[in-house]
């Protein structure tokens, strides 16, 4: 069994201490990625049973411990684990009893405080599970302190909030804060070996709901972002309350009528300024390590860099989706930003260029309600084990299922994506031909008050790279203004079909209408070969049979069979109770399977030889997938009826043999709503195990509503598909380029040139002493020069002689 498609951005990631690895919470494991390649190195698994919520890397103290790599992780299952992440080993596990939503260990922030003897206090934001969830007003969130060394809680609650909040700690570990509705709570934590009652707290007030905060690295400055996009910066907070001793405080007590610009409720700060650029909620705030800049980001996908002294802004736009977290690495030239489209971009710091992206499968997005029926977000490419996912930013993402990483992304609509409340343009349908050489997409623009709606069919051909597709044909409004209900390729032919709710279907062929005279007309493209309709009924589904000889089209409750080449209606098959949502041929057999989605859900199997219903079930079907050569198919069914408002989304996968209405096997799954199923051939190049078996086994893939997927073998009870033996994709440790070289590159060796001077071979004439002194005396150089060369020539000679003598001796 292979799982994949986890969310990388559920919680903030953390850099390792050398800045070469990134620890990312992926479900109940922690994945470690290499910063230089963006590939996964290892995974910390086996410690947690629920979602990991935070990772805290233990900083390196002494240089001797440079190769130590330890981290603490907290999880919703109420445990905190201590790992050695270099070797991916679990060292210690601490039980908390409460689901931990956020954890900070402030004393770890100061390097050198990790020596033995000092206590390790973790501050936890936990959920109080004793209070019933039905009490909406109850205070479910608590902030607790836990002594990780002695494994016992310390003191009482710091505070209680409505929901568990995320904890923020300042860089030197002195302050700790949370945002609670319209207030910031800030605690000052004394240095080592503190007592619980030494912790002091102040509150900072605002008039809007605060969403995030950040502490300045050196100054007493805190920034808070609210849900209207404002950023508030409080200077010099807690001057009175956090003063070192009380006597001092009394002596310097300020009069209460002191002017504090911008401060509300007489908070304990000197002043407060407000910046406003973000149009909606601020998702993160982060002070740069030198304290000169503040990074902020939010829904609009732009990192704003504020110069703190002046309030001037710089932007990093077009990151493609709402931003969630910003993490800085120990290396000042590297940081990363997590986007809600399941991507973590590694940024080269001063310029903020994206150097690498850790890209997970993009999450599903919500279609506008009216059009939901006619959308498939997921298409599987059988040959290479890729899944094509249509994304919110008008792309189709190709994701390798077996390798669990992104392969490529095809921009379907070349439009700048702006995260907005309502989707007006989306990629509705994606279809890929069986061999993967062709792709077709349909993108829909929703009209603004019946103005400007557009349906656009695009055909793509595969380029030279894997999953690289090039646009070949654009067809505007393939069915005038009717919505396209389905799109399918004919196996083995360059032919596709689209059916529309407007009551007609079109068969498209790829042809080159080359005419000899005109060169510009020699471009190939897709054109409509034939148009058909059945009694003017809306056509809800279309599919080709596995060998491509029959085209089945559902005209609401009827199934019509067509000859795709001559466009002749061959047969009709009888009636369902409500309009058919999807059709599929079962392998090479003569059976068709269909399901309906409305109030009377039905899963039906039809026989094309008898033109009659074979068997049917009244189950709510979400997806059907048929294997290509065997007469088996899998059905994903929901356990709740579609009318149910609070459907949990639990479902069942049934594995049917077409002859038998009793399922061969069943599996229960969660989050089945919006899920999909597909059969994939086990790729021998990826799976040594199946290659050794010699049997080309068929694997079933289930992708749930959040695009997490599982691949398993439906034929075996205990499926033991070896976990994809992932080659360690760590980069070779290349010499770290820091400081000067990271900016200007290596200095080229300027001395190199001097060495290249040709060494003139010193070739003394046979007997220099004979000629060196000859000539008239006024032409001769001074005697001192002549003598040295004379002696040198003698020395040379002597050396040669000595060499010869040695050789003679050897002989």
What residues line the site for another protein (CB under 8 A)?
Answer: 316, 318-320, 345, 348, 353-357, 393, 411, 413-418, 420, 422, 424-425, 445, 447-452, 454, 456, 458, 470-474, 481, 517, 519, 523, 744-745, 748, 750
Select 447 or 739, whichever has its Cβ closest to another protein: 447
Cβ-Cβ contacts under 8 Å for 285 (sequence gap 6 or more): 212, 213, 214, 223, 224, 225, 231, 294, 295, 296
Select 718 or 734, whichever has its Cβ closest to another protein: 734
Whose CA is closest to 667, among 650, 679, 648? 650
Select 199 or 413, whichever has its Cβ closest to another protein: 413
Burial (CB count within 10 angstroms: exposed 0-12, middle 13-18, buried 19+), residue 345:
buried
Count CB atoms within 10 A of the CB of residue 436.
19
Shortest CB 406 distance to another protein, Å: 12
Shortest CB 455 distance to another protein, Å: 12
Shortest CB 334 distance to another protein, Å: 12
Select 187 or 459, whichever has its Cβ closest to another protein: 459
d(CA 539, CA 425) in angstroms, rounded, equals: 23
Count CB atoms within 10 A of the CB of residue 154.
16
Shortest CB 481 distance to another protein, Å: 8
Select 429 or 703, whichever has its Cβ closest to another protein: 429
Shortest CB 413 distance to another protein, Å: 6
CA distances from 388 to 371, 374, 468 (A): 20, 17, 12
The helix or strand, by DSSP H or E, that contains position 740, with its residue range, turns out to be: helix 739-744
Cα atoms in the Cβ-side hemisphere of radius 13 Å centred on 311:
8
The helix or strand, by DSSP H or E, that contains position 108, with its residue range, turns out to be: helix 106-109
d(CA 638, CA 731) in angstroms, rounded, equals: 44
Whose CA is closest to 671, among 701, 627, 634, 703? 703
Shortest CB 517 distance to another protein, Å: 7
Select 265 or 351, whichever has its Cβ closest to another protein: 351
Cα atoms in the Cβ-side hemisphere of radius 13 Å centred on 487:
27
DSSP-assigned letter for residue 643: T
Select 301 or 564, whichever has its Cβ closest to another protein: 301
Cβ-Cβ contacts under 8 Å for 247 (sequence gap 6 or more): none
Shortest CB 4 distance to another protein, Å: 22
Select 137 or 516, whichever has its Cβ closest to another protein: 516
First to last CA, the chain: 74
Secondary structure of residue 446 in the 3-state scheme? coil
Secondary structure of residue 13 in the 3-state scheme? coil
Select 420 or 780, whichever has its Cβ closest to another protein: 420
Select 341 or 622, whichever has its Cβ closest to another protein: 341
Burial (CB count within 10 angstroms: exposed 0-12, middle 13-18, buried 19+), residue 537:
middle
Shortest CB 133 distance to another protein, Å: 38
Shortest CB 514 distance to another protein, Å: 14
* In the block, residue with structure tokens 């977290």: 325
d(CA 197, CA 511) in angstroms, rounded, equals: 81
Q: Which residues pair with 595 in a beta bridge?
A: 582, 603
The helix or strand, by DSSP H or E, that contains position 558, with its residue range, turns out to be: strand 558-563
Shortest CB 519 distance to another protein, Å: 7
Q: Which residues pair with 577 in a beta bridge?
A: none
d(CA 372, CA 642) in angstroms, rounded, equals: 14
How far is C-alpha 46 from the chain's CA centre?
22
Secondary structure of residue 101 in the 3-state scheme? strand
d(CA 86, CA 88) in angstroms, rounded, equals: 6
Select 96 or 395, whichever has its Cβ closest to another protein: 395
Shortest CB 437 distance to another protein, Å: 17
d(CA 664, CA 739) in angstroms, rounded, equals: 63
Select 159 or 357, whichever has its Cβ closest to another protein: 357
Select 473 or 710, whichever has its Cβ closest to another protein: 473
Beta strands, E only, 360-447: 378-381, 386-390, 395-400, 405-411, 425-432, 438-445
Shortest CB 726 distance to another protein, Å: 23
Shortest CB 487 distance to another protein, Å: 18
Whose CA is closest to 668, among 640, 639, 644? 639
Shortest CB 737 distance to another protein, Å: 12
Select 205 or 348, whichever has its Cβ closest to another protein: 348
* In the block, residue with structure tokens 């700690």: 169
Shortest CB 564 distance to another protein, Å: 19
Select 104 or 444, whichever has its Cβ closest to another protein: 444
Secondary structure of residue 785 in the 3-state scheme? helix
């Amino acid at each position: 069994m292979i799982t994949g498609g986890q969310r990388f951005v559920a919680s903030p990631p953390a850099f390792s201490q050398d800045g070469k690895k990134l620890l990312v919470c992926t479900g109940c494991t922690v994945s470690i990625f290499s910063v230089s390649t963006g590939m996964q190195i290892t995974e910390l698994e086996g410690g947690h049973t629920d979602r990991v919520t935070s990772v805290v890397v233990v900083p390196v103290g002494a240089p001797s411990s440079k190769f130590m790599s330890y981290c603490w992780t907290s999880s919703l299952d109420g445990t905190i684990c201590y790992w050695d992440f270099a070797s991916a080993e679990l060292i210690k596990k601490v039980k908390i009893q409460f689901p931990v939503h956020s954890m900070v260990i402030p004393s770890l922030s100061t390097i050198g405080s990790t020596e033995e003897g000092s206590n390790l206090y973790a501050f936890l934001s936990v959920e109080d599970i004793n209070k019933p969830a039905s009490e909406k007003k109850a205070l479910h969130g608590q902030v607790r302190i836990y002594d990780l060394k002695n494994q016992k809680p310390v003191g009482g609650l710091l505070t209680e909030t409505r929901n568990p909040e995320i904890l923020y700690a300042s860089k030197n570990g002195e302050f700790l804060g949370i945002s609670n509705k319209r207030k910031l709570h800030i605690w000052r934590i004394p240095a080592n070996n503190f007592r619980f009652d030494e912790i002091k707290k102040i509150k900072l007030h605002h008039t809007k709901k605060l969403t995030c905060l950040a502490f300045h690295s050196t100054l007493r400055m805190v920034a808070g972002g609210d849900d209207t996009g404002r950023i508030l910066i409080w200077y010099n907070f807690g001057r009175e309350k956090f003063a070192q001793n009380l006597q001092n405080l009394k002596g310097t007590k300020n009069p209460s009528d002191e002017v504090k610009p911008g401060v509300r409720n007489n908070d304990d700060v000197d002043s407060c300024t407000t910046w406003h650029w973000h149009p909606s909620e601020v998702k993160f705030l982060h002070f740069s390590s030198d304290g000169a800049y503040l990074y902020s980001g939010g829904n609009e996908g732009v990192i704003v860099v504020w110069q703190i002294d002046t309030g001037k802004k710089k932007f990093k736009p077009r990151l493609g989706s709402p931003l969630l977290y910003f993490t800085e690495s120990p290396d000042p030239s590297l940081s990363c930003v997590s986007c809600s489209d399941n991507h973590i971009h590694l940024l080269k710091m001063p310029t903020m260029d994206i150097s690498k992206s850790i890209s997970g499968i993009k999450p599903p997005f919500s279609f506008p309600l009216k059009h939901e029926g006619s959308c498939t977000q997921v298409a599987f490419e059988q040959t290479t084990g890729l899944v094509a996912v249509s994304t919110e930013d008008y792309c189709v993402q190709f994701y390798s299922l077996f390798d669990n990483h992104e392969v490529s992304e095809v921009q379907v609509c070349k439009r700048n994506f702006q995260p907005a409340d309502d989707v007006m343009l989306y990629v509705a349908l994606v279809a890929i031909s069986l061999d993967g050489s062709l792709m077709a997409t349909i993108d829909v623009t929703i009209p603004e008050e019946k103005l400007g709606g557009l349906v656009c069919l695009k055909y793509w051909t595969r380029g030279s790279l894997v999953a690289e597709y090039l646009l070949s044909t654009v067809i505007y409004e393939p069915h005038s203004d009717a919505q396209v209900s389905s799109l399918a390729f004919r196996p083995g032919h360059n032919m596709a079909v689209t059916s529309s709710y407007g009551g007609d279907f079109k068969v498209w062929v790829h042809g080159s209408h080359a005419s000899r005279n005109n060169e510009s007309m020699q471009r190939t493209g897709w054109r409509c070969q034939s148009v058909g309709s059945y009694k003017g009924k809306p056509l809800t589904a279309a599919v080709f049979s596995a060998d491509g000889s029959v085209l089945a089209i559902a005209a609401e409750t009827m199934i019509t069979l067509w000859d795709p080449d001559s466009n002749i209606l061959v047969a009709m098959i009888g009636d369902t109770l409500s309009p058919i949502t999807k059709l599929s041929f079962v392998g090479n057999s003569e059976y068709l399977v269909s399901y309906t989605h409305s109030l009377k859900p039905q899963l039906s199997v039809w026989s094309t030889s008898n033109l009659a219903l074979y068997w049917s079930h009244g189950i709510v079907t979400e997806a059907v997938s048929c294997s290509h050569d065997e007469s088996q198919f899998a059905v994903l069914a929901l356990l709740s009826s579609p009318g149910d408002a609070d459907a949990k989304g639990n479902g069942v996968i049934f594995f049917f043999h077409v002859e038998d209405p009793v399922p061969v096997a069943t599996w229960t799954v969660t989050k089945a709503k919006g899920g999909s199923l597909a059969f994939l051939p086990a790729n021998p190049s990826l799976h040594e195990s199946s290659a050794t078996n010699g049997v080309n086994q068929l694997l079933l893939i289930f992708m749930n509503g959040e695009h997490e997927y599982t691949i398993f073998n439906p034929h075996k009870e205990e499926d033991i598909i070896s976990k994809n033996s992932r080659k360690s994709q760590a980069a070779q440790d290349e010499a770290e380029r820091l400081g000067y070289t990271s900016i200007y590159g290596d200095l080229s060796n300027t001395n190199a040139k001097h060495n290249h001077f040709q060494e003139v071979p010193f070739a003394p004439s046979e007997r220099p002493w004979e000629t060196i002194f000859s000539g008239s005396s006024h032409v001769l150089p001074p005697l001192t020069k002549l003598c040295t060369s004379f002696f040198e020539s003698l020395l040379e000679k002597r050396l040669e002689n000595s060499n010869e003598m040695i050789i003679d001796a050897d002989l």
